[in-house]
């Protein structure tokens, strides 16, 4: 095995032939631009950022022991009525706290997965994802393994952290300044359902991130798509919530940051659509026509096209879920009564069946909450004939399409990794 102790002197072809999730120069430039944009955003919004940070730190101080200085600081902040609402929202926001903790868990993983302990982590895994194993075997042939094993995992986690950080920014705006679904004028009961659904989704993301942080070796046990697509799914979920809460153009972020988010969404859609069609055809070629039908319905002149669009996507999802987890296969796998309704496997049962080869409870729960969230928000677009037709914007429809396509791809990718596709 060739020894490569200097990362700047990689063997020729190293980056091209390894199938390793390492950043290209273009990706690195994009990440650098995004990082700069985040800094500019924080500087231009310093007042609210400082307010949120102080309130968050203060909340932690109070919970840790009601320290005297914290109480005096609380009196000062609460004396300013303009700070009261933001402080109260931060103080009571379990969802924001969980997402913040999820990002801390990812940061912890980045610190702990390095060349000094990567071999130990690999040895600790009772099962190693086939994708990671293939990448590590490729590295074995040409490099100092510990150095480049860590680099591969680091680049993967860095991409996860970008989506997670952007999700936290969007969620802060959503929670502090919006009423869920208000731009579509949904009634209060629906707003509460959407809020509860997103809260459960955030909690599952927090639990998944914490489980990976508590056991760093599990990042290698799970296929890369599990941790990467989970971050993408949460990002997409929060962005859909934003799209149905804020009017287009009414709530503006720093322009470079918004441009980078737009590029990321475009990249997600392009990559997802190409992979999704391939995965659908592998499952059942007829499903590709269903996807095309949903997309084409948006281009029609039918005044009820949005409802047809959402119903088509819902039908496609049902076909995918039931084909990946047929009744007989689920029944052979488990006969637990709580997984059945009137003798038929529930949605939860089918998802657990799809995930069970991965043997990771927090991941299975995340996928379940992800699907719950995407279908609950999809219902917003199924309204139509019984009320005045809502004026959906192109941005909202585009975001819902990205969200649904991404969720379908996620489900199919996990089916492939579980060897049922």
Contact 264, 258 (CB under 8 A): no
* pLDDT for the residue numbered 55: 42
State the DSSP H helix or E strand holding residue 340, giving kind and residue range, or none if neither.
strand 340-341
Identify the three-state secondary structure at position 341.
Answer: strand
* pLDDT for the residue numbered 32: 52
pTM of the model: 0.78
- d(CA 78, CA 56) in angstroms, rounded, equals 14
Torsion of CA 400, 403, 408, 414, to 10 degrees: -170
Sites in the chain below the pLDDT cut of 70 = 1-93, 115, 140-147, 176-178, 248-256, 383-390
- Burial letters for 87-112: b for 16+ Cβ neighbours within 10 Å, e otherwise? bebbeebebbbbbbebbebbebbeee
2-51 per-position pLDDT tens digit? 333 343 434 333 333 333 334 344 444 444 554 555 555 455 445 444 54
Q: Which two tokens stand for residue 183?
A: 């731009």
Identify the three-state secondary structure at position 116.
Answer: coil
* pLDDT for the residue numbered 251: 52
* pLDDT for the residue numbered 330: 97
* pLDDT for the residue numbered 23: 39
50-85 per-position pLDDT tens digit? 544 444 444 444 334 433 443 444 444 444 444 445
Instruction: Say if residue 183 is exposed, middle or buried (CB neighbours under 10 Å; 0-12, 13-18, 19+).
Output: buried
Contact 127, 235 (CB under 8 A): no
**DSSP character for 388?**
P
Give the rounded distance of the alpha carbon of 372 from its chain centre.
Answer: 14
């Amino acid at each position: 095995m060739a020894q490569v102790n200097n990362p700047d002197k990689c063997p020729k072809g190293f980056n091209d032939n390894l199938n390793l999730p390492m950043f290209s120069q273009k990706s690195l430039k994009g990440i650098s631009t995004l990082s700069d944009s985040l800094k500019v955003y924080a500087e231009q919004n310093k007042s609210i950022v400082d307010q949120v940070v102080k309130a968050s730190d203060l909340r932690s101080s109070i919970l840790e022991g009601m320290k005297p200085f914290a109480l005096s600081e609380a009196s000062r902040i609460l004396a300013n009525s303009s700070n009261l609402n933001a402080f109260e929202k931060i103080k009571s926001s379990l969802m924001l706290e969980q997402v913040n903790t999820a990002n801390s868990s990812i940061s912890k993983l980045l610190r702990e997965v390095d060349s000094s302990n990567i071999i130990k982590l690999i040895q600790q895994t009772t099962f190693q994802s086939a994708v990671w194993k293939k990448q590590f075997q490729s590295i074995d042939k040409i490099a100092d393994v510990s150095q480049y094993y860590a680099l591969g995992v680091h680049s993967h986690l860095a991409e996860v952290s970008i989506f997670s950080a952007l999700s936290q920014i969007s969620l802060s705006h959503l929670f502090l300044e919006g009423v869920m679904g208000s731009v579509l004028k949904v009634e209060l009961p629906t707003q509460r359902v959407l809020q509860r659904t997103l809260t459960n989704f955030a909690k599952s993301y927090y639990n998944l991130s914490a489980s990976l942080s508590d056991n760093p070796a599990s990042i290698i046990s799970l296929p890369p798509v599990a941790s990467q697509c989970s971050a993408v799914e949460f990002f997409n979920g929060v962005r859909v919530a934003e799209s149905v809460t804020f009017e287009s153009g009414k709530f503006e972020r720093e322009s470079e940051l918004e441009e980078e988010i737009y590029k990321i969404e475009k990249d997600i859609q392009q990559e997802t659509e190409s992979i999704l069609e391939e995965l659908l055809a592998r499952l059942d070629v007829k499903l590709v026509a269903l996807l095309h039908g949903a997309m084409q319905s948006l281009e029609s002149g039918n005044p009820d096209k949005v409802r047809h669009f959402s119903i088509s996507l819902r039908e496609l999802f049902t076909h995918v879920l039931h084909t990946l987890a047929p009744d007989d296969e689920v029944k052979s796998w488990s006969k637990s009564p709580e997984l059945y309704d009137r003798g038929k496997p529930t949605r939860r049962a089918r998802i657990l069946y799809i995930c069970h080869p991965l043997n990771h409870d927090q991941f299975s729960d995340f996928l379940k909450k992800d699907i719950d969230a995407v279908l609950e928000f999809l219902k917003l677009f199924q309204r139509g004939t019984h009320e005045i037709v809502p004026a959906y914007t192109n941005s909202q429809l585009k975001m819902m399409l990205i969200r649904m396509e991404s969720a379908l791809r996620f489900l199919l990718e996990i089916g492939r990794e579980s060897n049922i596709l």
